[in-house]
A and B are shown apart, each in its own frame.
Chain A
Amino acid sequence: MREIAVVAYSQSPCVADAGATNEVELIMPQLQAVYSQLGLASAQDVDFVCSGSCDYLQGAAFAFVAGVDALGAVPPIKESHVEMDAAWALYEAILKIRMGHADSALIYGFGKSSPGELPIVLSQRLDPYYLAPLWLDTVSLAALQARLLLDQDLVSERDMAAVVARSRRNAMDNPLAQLAGEFSIEELLAEEHFVAPLRRADCCPVSDGAAAMVIATVEQARAWGAPYARITGIDQRIENHNPCLRDLTDSVSTRQAAAAAGVHRGPVDVAEIYAPFSHQEILLTRALGLDDSTLVNPGGGVLAGNLMMASGLSRVGEVFRRIVDGKAGRGVAHATSGPCLQHNLVAVLEGA
């Protein structure tokens, strides 16, 4: 199988409201950043482009087509899109390269969630007959999941507050984070419940922004002369769309994806876990089989800023960055999609 590497990555700051900026204006600075990391002129210099976004976020039909205006698609380029987090655009691009249809690919994800009420908007991902008409929002669903974990003594509210405290502290060194600061567990537990048993701090913020990445065969990466991290495993699994038919205290799909991606074949120095709610980070750390030897979400994770449709790609990008910076030799990136961690992707990255 062809060996594939991440060669460039950039993410915008996570901001609560990007103001008047449209999708093209959000994407372009990130594309320019990854081009400049490699000395590329435009998307014409890669073989394939794949993006991830969801028009429901900003309420603009065909916003994903408008996003293509950022690419410079004359003469025509090979381009594709997933109505998902861009981590799945990365997955598609990897398949394309593995099949020999491309040697390099540009991947980007963007989300402008501020124009709508994100938890309500995301309720429309549920099945259209039984759950979506109830307007069952993402925070309420996550609260039900947290309640199950608490009732079965699998997690405590103190454990959840500890996750938040670590995220906020780690985010103090992350200039792209939206929420950062020094908070004690006691301070966090003193806050009132938002959607019980969740407190506001247990929930990721709503953020606007974009991320971009370039991947390539290791041969192409060497030709470009840029530092790179190899993607030595990647897998994605999905569970039943109805949360009532799943064990919400576990993430079977994450376990399966981690096994297939080969997480356990070596030490895991760093893990970037896409956990939009504090209890989910604990649940996912267990499902990934990680212990205290792994540094989890050293930049604060998505509790510090969550770019819907780009955060999954950013998890891979953050692991890449730590490996290239020499801070880790081998790392795991996780992305999720759907209510209560329905759909999960796990990637393993290793140094050159």
Chain B
Amino acid sequence: MSEPLADVTGIKAPVYLKYRFTAGSAPARFLCRLKEGVLTGQRCPRCSNVYIPPRGSCPACGVPTEDEVVLSDKGTIQSFTIVSIPIPGNPIQPPYVVANIVPDGANISFIHLLSECVNEEVHIGQRVQALWKPAEEWGHAMDNIRYFRPLDEPDVPVERIGKLPVTGLEG
């Protein structure tokens, strides 16, 4: 009589699917300007909100956004977190600060790194500016900006965060 077979409790079935991913028409325009070292958003024709990165529509109104707007590389911290736990595959050594930053002229934040700062002193409303990589290293990616660092400017009151013109707090 043959030996009883051991129970099979799992199998490995790896999935490999190849895709030729495209970002979309509006994100592609954004990425092309980003390669030139320019942050751009798109304005909603109905509510006037400016989105970065633009996806081609105003999610609040459901209408296409065609009007392209050049934004500042200065911005305001809308929220932040101090990362203390290493993330597998991430080369950045903790502790470091990840922040939601609203660039001047836009109404929505994006996530980026904050550095050259005292982590414990980072706060909502703090003014920051992009530190760009050398131009010859620019590609179609947000890491053209190495990180943001604090600016010596007055804090933005909470109710005005995400509502500054492209010229900033004084503009």
- A interface residues with partner B (beta carbon < 8 Å): 19-25, 28, 31, 42-43, 56, 58-60, 66, 68-74, 114-117, 120-121, 124, 128-129, 132-133
Contacts and interface: CB of A to CB of B under 8 A. Distances in A.
A117 B25 CA distance: 22
B151 to A, nearest CB: 32
Contacts, number: 91
B23 to A, nearest CB: 7
Contacts of B23: 20, 22
Nearest to B10: A129
B24 A25 contact: yes
B17 A20 contact: no
Interface of B: 11, 13, 15, 17-28, 55-64
A120 B62 CA distance: 34
B11 A31 contact: no
A71 B13 contact: no
A28 B56 contact: yes
A43 B57 CA distance: 14
Contacts of B25: 19-22, 25
A25 B55 CA distance: 8
A115 B20 contact: yes
Given A31-B62, A115-B22, A24 B57 contact: yes
A264 B51 CA distance: 53
A24 B56 contact: yes
9 contacts: A20-B22, A22-B22, A25-B26, A59-B17, A71-B59, A71-B62, A73-B59, A115-B19, A121-B17
Nearest to B59: A69
A24 B62 CA distance: 9
Contacts of A22: 22-27, 55-56
Contacts of B15: 124, 132
Contact of A72 (B18, B19, B61): B61
Nearest to A71: B62
A113 to B, nearest CB: 10
Contact of A128 (B13, B18, B27, B56): B13
Nearest to A69: B59
B57 A124 contact: no
Which residue among B19, B27, B60 has the maximum number of chain A CB atoms within 10 Å of its CB?
Answer: B19
Given A56-B17, A116-B17, A120-B17, A20 B28 contact: yes
A129 B28 contact: no
Contact of B64 (A28, A66, A116): A28
Contacts of B17: 56, 59, 116-117, 120-121, 124
A2 B22 CA distance: 44
A31 B55 CA distance: 17
In order of increasing CB-CB distance, the 9 nearest A-B pairs are A72-B62, A22-B24, A59-B19, A74-B60, A69-B59, A133-B13, A115-B19, A25-B56, A72-B61
A56 B18 CA distance: 11
A277 to B, nearest CB: 22
Contacts of B60: 72-74
A20 B26 CA distance: 9
Contacts of A128: 13
Nearest to B15: A124
